[in-house]
A and B are shown apart, each in its own frame.
Chain A
Amino acid sequence: MQNPLNTPRKYPIKVLVWRATLFTALWWILTEGNFVAWGVGLVSVILALVASLILFPPGTSRLSLTGLAGFLGFFLVQSVKGGVQVALIALRPRLDLRPAVLDITMRLPEGRSRVLLANTLNLLPGTLSIGLEGRYLRMHLLDKRIPVESGVHEAEVCIARMLSLPLEEL
C-alpha cells in the first residue's frame, strides 16, 4: 500500500458502517447529545472515517468484543492494584524501594500489539517499560521482591485475545 489516498480501494461495507456508527456516537458524546452542529459533525465523522481507514486499514487485526471486555476487566482491576500499591509505597514513612531492570521475551507477534503491551504495563503494578527491541521488552521494576512476570504474561494473553492475534512460542 504505497499511497492509500490515491489508490482506489474497496472497503467492506460492514467495516464502513461500523466505523461511521462509532464516530457518530463519539460526536454525539463530544457535543453532549446536542445535534445542532450536525454540519460540522458530518464533516468530522467523514474525516475521522478517512483517517481511520488510512491509519488502521481493515483486515490487519480483528477486534474481538469479548476480548475487549476481558482486557478492560483485567486492566481495571490491575490498574487499581497498581495505583494503590504505588500510593502506599509513596506514603510509607520509610521509603523502601528495590528497583531493578528486567528483560522479558514477548509472545505477541510483531507490530502494534507489542507497543500496546509496553504502554499498558506502565499502568499495571510495579512495571515501567523502558525499551522495546524485537521480541525483547525491557522493564523497570519498582520493587524486585514483588513478582511481575505472571502479570505481564496475563496482559499479553488479554491483548492477544482482544486483537484476535496468535501468541508465539517462547
Chain B
Amino acid sequence: MDILDLSSAVLLIIGAAFFLAGTVGLLRFPDVYTRLHALAKADNLGLGFTVLGLVLQAPGVAAGLKLILVWLLALAASATLSFLIARRAFAKGISPWKPEEHEL
C-alpha cells in the first residue's frame, strides 16, 4: 500500500465519519431547522472528504476534475434546498424548537 492509497483511505474514512455525524444529528436534533443545520453542513464536508479521497485514485486529470464538479454541484444543491425547505417551514408557521419549553 503506497502513500497515495493510504491518504485516500484516510480521507474516505474522515468523509464517512462526517456522514455518520450528520445522520446522528438528523436523528437526534429536535426540529426541522436544527436537522437542516446537521444535514447541510456535515454531509457536505463528508462528500468533500470522500471526493478528495477519490480524486487521489482518479485515473486522470479530467476524471479528478469531474469528481470535484460533482461536489460543487451537490454543494450548490444542498445550500439552495435547505434554504427553500427552511423558508417554507418558517412561512407555514413551524416555530423553532426552544430548550425552555422542554427539559434541558
Contact = CB atoms under 8 A, between A and B. Distances in A.
Interface string A70-105: 000000000110111111111100010111110000
A82 B78 CA distance: 14
A31 B62 CA distance: 8
Given A131-B87, A132-B87, A140-B86, A89 B65 contact: no
A39 interface: no
A32 B21 contact: no
Tell me if B's interface is mostly helix, strand, loop or mixed.
helix
A29 B93 CA distance: 44
A129 B86 contact: yes
A128 B36 contact: yes
A88 B22 CA distance: 10
A36 interface: no
A119 interface: yes
A131 B91 contact: yes
Given A82-B41, A86-B42, A130-B90, A33 B61 contact: yes
B28 A29 contact: no
Contacts of B48: 79
A123 B75 contact: yes
B42 A87 contact: yes
Interface string A94-134: 01011111000000000000000011101101101111100
User: Which of A91, A97, A142 has the most CB atoms of chain B within a 10 A radius of its CB?
Assistant: A97
A37 to B, nearest CB: 13
Contacts of A31: 62
Contacts of A131: 87, 90-91
Given A83-B41, A86-B42, A140-B86, A122 B61 contact: no
User: Which of B22, B46, B79 has the most CB atoms of chain A within a 10 A radius of its CB?
Assistant: B79
Contacts of B18: 83, 87
Given A34-B62, A83-B41, A99-B96, 16 more contacts: A32-B60, A80-B45, A86-B22, A86-B25, A87-B42, A90-B21, A90-B22, A123-B40, A123-B78, A125-B41, A128-B37, A128-B86, A129-B83, A131-B87, A140-B33, A142-B34
10 contacts: A31-B62, A83-B18, A86-B38, A87-B21, A90-B22, A99-B33, A119-B79, A122-B41, A130-B87, A132-B87
Nearest 5 CB-CB pairs, A to B? A83-B45, A90-B25, A87-B21, A33-B62, A119-B79
